[in-house]
Amino acid sequence: MPFSHHSHSGQFCMHAKDTLEEMIQEAIRRGMKVFALTEHAPRDQMVDLYPEEVRAQQTPFDLFNTFLQFYNTALLLRAKYSSQIHLLVGCEAEYIRPTSIPLMRELCAQFRFDFLIGSVHHVNTIPIDFDKELYQKALLSLGPDATEDMLFEQYLDDQLIMLEEVKPAVVGHFDLIRLMSDDPKRMMSTYGERVWAKVLRNLEAVKFYGGLLEMNSAAIRKGWDTPYPGRDICETWISMGGRFTFSDDSHGVFQIGLNYHHLLAYCQSLNLKEIHYLIKLPMGEMAVDVLDACAVRALSLEELVKHPFWEMDREERKNNEQEKAS
């Protein structure tokens, strides 16, 4: 039962491609059974706009209007495709500054999300995953003698605030801070003791409220050897009894299910026994294990590998390689 809990469409995200409906149609074609629609939460300050949004002369009002259109479109499409795929309508929550928390609470009051992904993309309000230049700017914002250890610590402190205040059902790309670092493949446990202590602290926070860490295949297409999070974090999370889910963090049709064969191999190398996913409960149905408005379901890796998705994926990758060679 392949699934993804993290996606963006070019219809509602300026750094993505393709329409929301095209994304859903591709997820159905790929044999996914659960697919989440999770556009970025709107940001409420001009300074937080991304370069492509500035170039398009966007304003925070435009972001809110776009998000409203996303939500309404997602609900309509969920009804349209309900017989073919289980669609979840959520949001990727952002922590940028302390006012991000009341903003997320207002959004949750206005929109009935099935669940939230909780992510951190900024340190000192500066994006840390957009490009190397902004990453360095975030580092220097901590002082002229700031080290990457200090930047990682601040990222983890901000992440803790988001975890404790928002309690997102799914924690997005836990170690994203590594992406633009001097050595992205260096594991977080090899940094200073304070960094690793804060990693453990944040994992404990997720474990406390029962959240899921996403195992996110996007890191592979960005040059990593493994998905997010790194092996040290995964092994620690498993030892704590923590639970994982799958995400492709797709920003277009061509990224749906991309590198899932690496995701599966990673799970097997970690000796992971089961993976978890969310489903929206029918009206009036109760469940013991619930995050946000969704029930948590477990699927053994033994069952997962039997799904037709993997054979289709194998064939498509083979065909793509042949096309490149010809």
Q: What digits encode the pLDDT tens for the residues 202-219? A: 999 999 999 999 999 999
**Max Cα–Cα distance, the chain, nearest Å:** 57
Q: Kindly report, residue by residue over 81-140, the tens digit of the pLDDT.
A: 999 999 999 999 999 999 999 999 999 999 999 999 999 999 999 999 999 999 999 999
Q: How many domains does the chain divide into?
A: 1
Record the pTM: 0.95
Average pLDDT over residues 210-232: 96
Element (H, E) at 212: strand 212-216
Residue 142 DSSP SS3:
coil
Contact 113, 292 (CB under 8 A): yes
Give the model's pLDDT for residue 68.
98
> What is the DSSP code (8-state) at residue 12?
T
Domain that holds residue 41: 3-325
Quote the distance between the C-alpha of residue 282 and its chain's center. 25
Average pLDDT over residues 4-17: 96
Residue 118, burial from CB neighbour count under 10 angstroms (0-12, 13-18, 19+)? buried
Handedness of CA 172, 173, 176, 178 (dihedral sign): positive
Q: What is the CATH number of the domain that holds 172?
A: 3.20.20.140
